[in-house]
Structure formats: C-alpha cells, structure tokens
Chain A
Amino acid sequence: MAAGAGVVDDGTDESVEARLGRFFDSATGGAALGPDDDYFALGLVNSLLALEIVAYVERVFQVRVEVEDLDLDNFRTIARIAAFVRGKWGSGGAGRPA
C-alpha cells in the first residue's frame, strides 16, 4: 500500500517504474526485467496478459488508454509505459491523480 500511495503522491518516474517493475516481475514469474527490456519480444506476454496490462495501467495510474494509444511503442518496455503514463498525466485530459 505504501509503495502504491507513493506512486500517486509524489509521481516520480522511479515510482511509476518501480510499480510497473513489480507488476511485470509477478506477471512473468520473476523474470526480473530491466526498464528497457522488451517483454513482448522476449515472448513473456500472452494475449490475456496484454489486455491486463491495459487494465492495470488504467486502474493503478488512473489514466484512460484510448484506441489511438494502442501502439506497441507505448507498451513494450517498463520505461515506455512509464513515459506514456507521465504523458497522460501531463496532458490534463486524463487527469493526474491528486
């Protein structure tokens, strides 16, 4: 809970990436991915998990993933998802959590 609250409270890149790191670590059975590892290319993501990533990002970071956002480049690494989330927070529309 503390780590989760940290992500929203301070909104630092590290927190977002750390949170995503934990998600992917658990989702891939402890593959210990680096921020730039492409888990799609590594074959670690089946189709059910790919949709769960969207649901997870929307739920935990309180952003809305639109059809225009469906670009593998937004999702293929932890660093890219973090950048995507920061972009959503910054763009106002999706609203960064307080």
Chain B
Amino acid sequence: MRRIQVSVNGVAYEHEVEPRLLLVHYLREGLNLTGTMVGCNTSNCGACTVLLDGESVKSCTLFAVQADGHEITTVQGLQTNGDWHPMQTAFHEQHALQCGYCTPGMILASVSYLKENPNPNEEDIREALEGNYCRCTGYENIVKAVQQAAGQTS
C-alpha cells in the first residue's frame, strides 16, 4: 500500500492505495466519483478521460499512485457555482450526446483541447478527439458543440 495525496475537483484527499490500483477505479470506487467511466481498459475509448493538472489523460492508463501530488478534474468538477461549463451547455444544445456514456470524457477532452487551440477548424477538432469514441452520435454534433464552445457558432 502507498499513501497518496491528490486534489480532486478542488477537494484534497489522502488515501492508502494498492500500487496497482488504476486511477479510474480510485475515482469511481474510492471517491465515488462515478462520472468517470470505463469503456475499454486499453486506452482506446476515452470514456475515462479526466484532467490532470488541466490536461486530458485517460485515467485507465494511470495508476492512482501516479496522480500523487497532482490536481484532477472530473466532469463533476466542471461547474462553477452550479453553472454549467460552456462545453456542457454546448453538448446539450447541439445534441452532442445520446446514451451519454462517452460524454464526460468527450467534454473533458474537448475542454482541454480548446485550451491548447482556442480557434480550431473542423478537421482540427476531429483529429483532436480521435482518442475518444462515441458509438451513438457519429460525431457531427460533437464537432458542432466544440465549435459552439469555441465561440464559433451560437
């Protein structure tokens, strides 16, 4: 067992964890933050995407111990004073989700990408999201949502 200190959605935690515990399982089982999901366990689908110090990572490819000393944001940490993040609003308004299972990961990957490139074109967005699978929407509306959040459409 190893002791880790992490800040998740602005709350500080300290826990003893098994070295092999995956970060996604730490979040889900340890902290009950079930907005982060598992879709593949092989780092392909992106359902487990969270922000680590503001950058998107796949939490099924990290061990909890690797998050020691870092700040993590899950989808539950995106709201400010109860207001949705513009990306959450955009996903809703553009009908960028159906079953919603990919959605938290997709939103976080998009939030992180817009920080990197605030003014992307459609192709950029598609390339940027290549590590996040959605089986329901066919991606067109997801791309539109990211464009909306980037201020490119209303």
A, B from the same assembly? no
Please report A residues at the B interface, Cβ cutoff 8 Å.
none
Please report B residues at the A interface, Cβ cutoff 8 Å.
none
